[in-house]
Structure 1
């Protein structure tokens, strides 16, 4: 039973519950049962299944091991490396650990938060001590990521700022109005507006991205920041950076179409290559972006709706 829990084989636990329900109370030499193993090894399905058994739930959730650790102490211990690597980046791994600790915190008795183990440590104190290195690695990962994207955002903002004052076709020397803006033939005015709007969007979004990543670089990186605040900043920074890249390519294509009197085939090829550039950016960056969104908005380590604080 304990080995099945350790490896997440919930089907075995469910079958044995029907055949020999007394085995649900099996413990090892450290007085840790299957619920303790489910918490230590982050086995969400088994955690939910065992907690859903009302007849044994109260007894199981009140157990302590021989080191006087309650279930919340066990949740404060670091996850196995095989579980941590499921998240890319130490910051997301730290977020995952915090989510799991809070999930267990909601289902144990409130007094568990203040109980001491054999080392006179409360669950939260144990969590802080055992995750100190992971938090430092998460801070380093977040800063390196923000620093890299800040360089990209700054470069885009610089280019688009310069393009705003050196518009295609130049300006009228008497009025200062862009020449293409006053031309009605061949839809030149419409194309110029596409360039102008795309340039403005790219400049503003890249500037926003740079500011967001600068905020990350100067953050205090407290434990709770890894739970929601830091991931939200990364989501906003990556989203605005993506919009700025797309807008920059649109502005480039519009400017090229304005400046060159070429055939439609050439323009189609230019837009196609620009689309491939956008797709390559999405292909390389979307996995990280989607993982951050998924782990922040819908965590796999939160109990399902039937698991609520029953005290």
Structure 2
């Protein structure tokens, strides 16, 4: 299989680079090829090292070397290395990583892939979940502490970071025994109390991030509401003596009316969502679902209103000057699409991250079928 994969990438490199591009190797494809090749070679190397160590029949040497590798693997999320070590030497699963079992260490380091792998080993999970460290803290206390900076920054924005921390806490809370949810550590704090104490600064930063973003977007949405409402009563071309619009039977005019209505309704929805964010109580639990949902709806509505407003503007220009400048439609459409594209480029990454973290597949999912009992 490894030779087949290597052959595939070598063939792709030859066909795409030499015959289609006829230039020096494309960095993107070359990087993918190198990454895949390095991953395959690493797997072979790990398997070979494990075989050699087991062949020595020296328990202390195997325990020390594999344990050292697992310690680094847990910190950086290299779950494949951990899996191979456990398959080769099952007893290594009880290795202590800086005084913690791997399950606790994965929670502390916020390495979801390592967590998912060990979670599927049901016997190990049930036993370790009841263990306490030297500070009399259980797995839920570990999840209640603030993540390391390099793991906290895997998502952008304090609000999404707070959401991810809540997702970790809720996940560990699912399997912990009910009595452990209210267990006290040496500081006489329950896991929930630890979470509140350790995340108070992040909570404050999340509040400010949400308020600043909502305030800025509310201004834009309110302006769009004003323009769309005014445009509905000052239609292009004016009205006839009976009050009906002059271009009522024109297809372009109908495009103007429909797009203006969409702009008005979408921008109004956006304003309401952002006002809901600004008037929120900003409790810890709100960052898990309520606030990201409102921000998502607000951003989608705002984008839709801007696009509709630009379409209405294009239709208006076309109606007014098409008799004098017949080619005006195409350049106007291109020009008015620029603001919508700029908004999409600036805000779309945030929207994608909001949707994925709130509605996307959970990071706590099945890692490998071979561990399912």
User: What's the TM-score, normalizing by structure 1?
Assistant: 0.91
Deviation at 1:262, TM superposition (A): 4.1
Separation in 1, partners of 2:316, 2:182: 65
Deviation at 1:89, TM superposition (A): 1.0
Local SS of the residue matching 1:180: coil
Query: Does 2:275 match 1:275?
Result: no
Match of 2:111 in 1: 43
Q: Is the 8 A contact 1:103 1:303 kept in 2?
A: no
276, 279, 290: which is aligned to 1:215? 276
Map 1:242-257 to 2 at 5 A: 242-257=303-318
Task: Provide structure 2 residue ranges, at least 5 long, that are not aligned to the other structure.
Answer: 1-69
134, 139, 159: which is aligned to 2:202? 134
Residues 13-33 of structure 1, C-alpha deviation per residue, up to 9 Å, x if partnerless?
A: 11211232222112255x311
User: What's the TM-score, normalizing by structure 2?
Assistant: 0.76
Deviation at 1:146, TM superposition (A): 0.3
Q: Is the 8 A contact 2:118 2:125 kept in 1?
A: yes
- The count of residues paired between Structure 1 and Structure 2 equals 299
Query: Does 2:121 match 1:60?
Result: no
Q: Is the 8 A contact 2:256 2:315 kept in 1?
A: yes
Task: Provide structure 1 residue ranges, at least 5 long, that are not aligned to the other structure.
Answer: none
Q: Is the 8 A contact 2:158 2:209 kept in 1?
A: yes
Local SS of the residue matching 2:364: coil
Match of 2:57 in 1: none
155, 166, 177: which is aligned to 1:98? 166
Separation in 2, partners of 1:116, 1:301: 28
Match of 2:101 in 1: 33
- Identify the structure with bigger relative contact order (alpha carbons < 8 Å, sequence gap 6+): 1
Deviation at 1:285, TM superposition (A): 1.1
Deviation at 1:64, TM superposition (A): 1.2
Query: Does 2:79 match 1:10?
Result: yes
Query: Does 2:227 match 1:165?
Result: no
Separation in 2, partners of 1:105, 1:286: 33
Query: Does 2:266 match 1:205?
Result: yes
Residues 147-188 of structure 1, C-alpha deviation per residue, up to 9 Å, x if partnerless?
A: 00000001111112221121111112x31221121xx5xxxx
235, 241, 246: which is aligned to 1:179? 246
Query: Does 2:91 match 1:19?
Result: no
Query: Does 2:301 match 1:240?
Result: yes
